[in-house]
């Protein structure tokens, strides 16, 4: 296996592992939102500004989970494509080797067609992989966007929390955990993007 | 890859083996090709690492598009782990292999090649005007195992039966049977599981008129050595690991 193939396998595998971490964190955000809603309800008027924010956080978490689920399906397709490309590359190299070894054979020329065919299907796989990576990068970008939005909301929550009197601390804790989670999601997704970006369609 | 023509008549039998480029840690194998005017059958085409030298060797005798048939005596990797590569190289080919191994062999990838499942009682492979008999050899050593008999060439391709582990320079035919026995004893005692299966196979094979017994490993037996082998095998206790 060449180094390039190895790193392609690793890049694809790393998406799945990074994303499973993102999934855990997104579920945490969703939990934090439910928690915040309960606190805001109890705080009543004091946390009036906080209530729509909790809905928004919840919505964001749900969307992130949905996106990641989709991306995981995509990552599986990408994995299969990597296996396929690997097998086609092995075949192409072996066909070329056979053609070279058969140089002086009377029927050496008949190997040309399988060699050409193997090269084309290997290149097809490579192109398809690049196309799919570009699409996946787009979807990862959407998750990043959500993470950035969550951080803005967390900042707003902190301001709202400061008006909530005795609920200040618990609401601030909520804002804190949303911010932390969004940060983790952002970092993980960023790592996925970096791992994949070298395979992007240029 | 060493090439030896072992029959030349209305069709040909060619033996390939003793590949000098073979990695040291894989077992040496003999591959056989039956060549008719426009078609070519590969018997136990070999492992994946053997694909390129084997293909190159065949191209001395036939163009790729005339490789129409493959036969796998059983499911072992030294027999047929090259299947996925043949599958991508051949556009119009059949694989004749034991029915019970179909779901297993497909792990090697068999998409463009048609899998012709051989039932337990065997059958025939027709190659233009040549009709080859598929002789059951179950439990020798694989639970689904076949040999190929050519009544015209009087050759029995006997898979792992008759096998021996040999050096890369060993001659392709047994020259001194008594000396060869030691190279075969452990092979047959350890890999062959059933005395009953052995007895039934010997009975069946004694009824065939055989000039050359052609195993997948080691050396071929010709003339009187065929009978010597059958007698020796008959007397041997197998399945010793229990
Ligand atoms: Fe075997
Ligand atoms: Fe074998």
Q: Tell me: the pLDDT tens digits for B82-141? A: 999 999 999 999 999 999 999 999 999 999 999 999 999 999 999 999 999 999 999 999
B218 is a domain residue: yes
Test the A interface: residue of B59, B67, B83 with most A CBs within 10 Å: B59
B242 is a domain residue: no
For chain B, percent of residues with pLDDT exceeding 90: 95
For chain A, percent of residues with pLDDT exceeding 90: 33
Give residues with Cβ within 8 angstroms of A74, minimum separation 6: A132, A135, A136, A139
Query: Looking at the DSSP assignment, which residues form a beta bridge with residue B218?
Result: none
Residue A96's domain spans which residues?
Answer: 3-201
Q: How far is A21 from chain B (nearest CA, A)?
A: 33
Q: Specify the higher pLDDT residue, A16 or A123.
A: A123
Cβ distance of A111 and B55 shorter than 8 Å: yes
Query: What is the count of structural domains for chain B?
Result: 1
Give residues with Cβ within 8 angstroms of A191, minimum separation 6: A14, A18
For the residues B63-70, what does the mean pLDDT come to? 98
* Residue A201 clears pLDDT 80, i.e. is over it: no
* Residue A202 clears pLDDT 60, i.e. is over it: no
User: What is the CB neighbour count within 10 angstroms for residue A180?
Assistant: 16
**Which chain A residues are within 8 Å of B90, Cβ to Cβ?**
114
Query: What is the count of structural domains for chain A?
Result: 1
B contact set with A (CB within 8 A): 51-53, 55-56, 59-65, 84-85, 88-90, 109
For the stretch A64-123, pLDDT in tens is: 899 889 888 888 889 999 999 999 999 999 999 999 999 999 999 999 999 999 999 999
Contact A62, B13 (CB under 8 A): no
For the residues B182-207, what does the mean pLDDT come to? 97
For the residues B51-64, what does the mean pLDDT come to? 98
* Residue A4 clears pLDDT 80, i.e. is over it: no
Residue B219's domain spans which residues?
Answer: 2-235
For the stretch A138-166, pLDDT in tens is: 989 988 998 898 889 888 888 888 888 88
Q: How many A from CA of A76 to the centre of ligand 2?
A: 37
Q: How many A from CA of B217 to the centre of ligand 2?
A: 6
The ipTM is: 0.93
Distance CA B16, CA B30 (A): 6
Contact B132, B148 (CB under 8 A): yes
Query: Looking at the DSSP assignment, which residues form a beta bridge with residue B98?
Result: B118
For the residues B230-238, what does the mean pLDDT come to? 98
For chain B, percent of residues with pLDDT exceeding 70: 100
The mean pLDDT of chain A is 88
Q: How many A from CA of B104 to the centre of ligand 1?
A: 14
The mean pLDDT of chain B is 97
**Which chain A residues are within 8 Å of B61, Cβ to Cβ?**
107
For chain A, percent of residues with pLDDT exceeding 70: 99
User: What pLDDT, on a 0 to 100 scale, did the predictor assign at position B197?
Assistant: 98
**Per-residue b/e over A50-89, b at no fewer than 16 CB within 10 Å?**
bbebbebbbebbeebbebbeebeebbeebbebbebbbbbb
List the CATH number of the domain containing B208: 3.60.15.10
């Amino acid at each position: 296996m060449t180094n390039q193939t190895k790193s392609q396998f690793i890049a694809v595998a790393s998406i799945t592992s990074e994303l499973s971490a993102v999934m855990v964190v997104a579920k945490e955000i969703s939990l934090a939102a439910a928690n915040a809603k309960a606190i805001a309800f109890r705080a009543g008027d004091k946390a009036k500004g906080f209530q729509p924010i909790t809905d928004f956080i919840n919505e964001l978490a749900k969307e992130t989970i949905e996106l990641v689920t989709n991306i995981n399906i995509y990552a599986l397709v990408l994995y299969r494509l990597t296996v396929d490309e690997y097998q086609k590359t092995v075949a192409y190299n072996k066909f070329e080797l056979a053609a070279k070894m058969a140089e002086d054979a009377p029927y050496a020329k008949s190997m040309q067609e399988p060699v050409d065919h193997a090269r084309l299907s290997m290149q097809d796989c490579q192109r398809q992989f690049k196309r799919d990576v570009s699409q996946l990068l787009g979807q990862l970008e959407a998750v990043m966007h959500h993470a950035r939005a969550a951080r803005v909301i967390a900042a707003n929550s902190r301001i709202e929390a400061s008006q909530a009197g005795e609920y200040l601390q618990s609401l601030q804790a909520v804002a804190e955990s949303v911010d932390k989670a969004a940060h983790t999601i952002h970092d993980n997704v960023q790592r996925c993007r970096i791992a994949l970006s070298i395979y992007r369609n240029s | 890859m060493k090439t030896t023509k072992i029959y030349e008549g209305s069709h040909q039998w060619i033996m390939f083996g003793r590949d000098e480029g073979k990695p040291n840690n894989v077992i040496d194998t003999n591959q056989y090709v039956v060549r008719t005017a426009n078609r070519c059958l590969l018997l136990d085409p070999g492992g994946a690492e053997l694909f390129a030298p084997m293909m190159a060797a065949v191209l001395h005798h036939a163009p790729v598009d005339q490789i129409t048939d493959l036969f796998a005596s059983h499911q072992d990797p030294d027999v047929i782990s090259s299947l996925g590569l043949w599958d991508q190289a051949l556009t119009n080919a059949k694989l004749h292999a034991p029915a019970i191994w179909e779901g297993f062999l497909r792990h090697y990838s068999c998409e463009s090649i048609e899998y012709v499942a051989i039932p337990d009682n065997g059958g025939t492979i027709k190659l233009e005007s040549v009709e080859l008999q598929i002789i059951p050899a179950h439990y020798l050593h694989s639970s689904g195992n076949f040999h190929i008999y050519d009544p015209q060439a009087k050759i029995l391709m006997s898979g792992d039966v008759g096998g021996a582990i040999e050096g890369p320079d060993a001659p392709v035919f047994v020259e001194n049977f008594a000396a060869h026995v030691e190279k075969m004893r452990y092979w047959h005692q350890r890999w062959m599981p059933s005395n009953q299966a052995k007895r039934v196979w010997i009975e069946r094979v004694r009824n065939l008129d055989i000039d050359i017994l052609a195993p997948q490993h080691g050396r071929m037996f010709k003339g009187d050595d065929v009978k010597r082998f059958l007698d020796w095998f008959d007397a041997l206790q197998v399945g010793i690991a229990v």
